Amino acid sequence: TKGEQCAFAHSATPTQTDDVDDAINDELIDIADNDLPLLLFDLNGTLTNATKTRNKGAPKLRPFIDQIRCLKGHFQLGVYSSATLPSVTKAIAMIEEAAGPGPKLFEVVLDRRHCVQAPPSMGLKKWDTCKPLAKHFTNLSKVVLVDDDEHKSLISENANLVHVPCWDNGPTDSALSVLFTALLEHVPQVGDVRPHTAAVSKQVIGYV
């Protein structure tokens, strides 16, 4: 039925050594045409401050993260991060607390083990990763990846990407407020989401 949550097969035990080299092979996550679209949010630089801006402390939540519940009921929400599972778990707990009472925010959680090494042709560092979608989902017409790093999206899946500006701890940043509004305005609950992601990116990047 419309709005039904997609099934998620992965339930791993957190370890401190989770890495792309420890990639896991989950069953594909099935998203039907009549399910709500799934928004997969990056953490570092998108919902939290970029790793390079931290002083060995806990991540900071991006301004307006408390508005994220406005997306529930319109979309399914998930996290797709290249961080290890313990780091992802910690950040999610902080986001849930900031968002206030309500049902669990994120139905799907993918971490570094679900990523792949960036191909050499991209000219990136050897530890940089990409976030494949077709490897984990049956229906890419219903999946949006929201990330501040364009290279995290495979070239063949660029139409699924919403690109947002990286947060560098600026206290007046309002990108998330603009993003949530743009997602509700442009991304349809019915049909293919991919023709609409560019409009969201343009609106969010353009606000800066």
Cα(64)–Cα(70) distance, integer angstroms = 11
Minimal CA–CA distance to 51: which of 151, 128, 155, 153? 128
Closest CA to 80 of 104, 115, 45, 31: 115
C-alpha span between 148 and 61 (Å, rounded):
15
Buried (b) or exposed (e) across 87-108, using 16+ Cβ within 10 A? bbebbbebbeeebeeeeebbbb
Please give the C-alpha separations between residue 120 and each of 24, 63, 69, 127, in angstroms, as whole numbers.
22, 35, 38, 11
Q: Which residues of 30-45 are buried (b: 16+ CB within 10 A; e: fewer)?
A: ebeeebbbbbbbbbbb
CA distance 29 to 207: 34
Q: What is the pTM of this model?
A: 0.87
Q: What span, in angstroms and rounded, lies between the C-alpha atoms of 74 and 173? A: 24
DSSP assignment letter at 191 = S
Residue pLDDT, tens place only, 34-68: 999 999 999 999 999 987 666 667 899 999 999 99
CB-based contacts of 103, cutoff 8 Å, min separation 6: 72
Q: Is the pLDDT of residue 120 over 80?
A: no
- For 157-175, what is each residue's pLDDT tens digit? 999 999 999 998 999 999 9
How far apart CA 71 and CA 76 sit, in angstroms, is: 8
Least confident of 53-67, 85-99, 106-120: 53-67
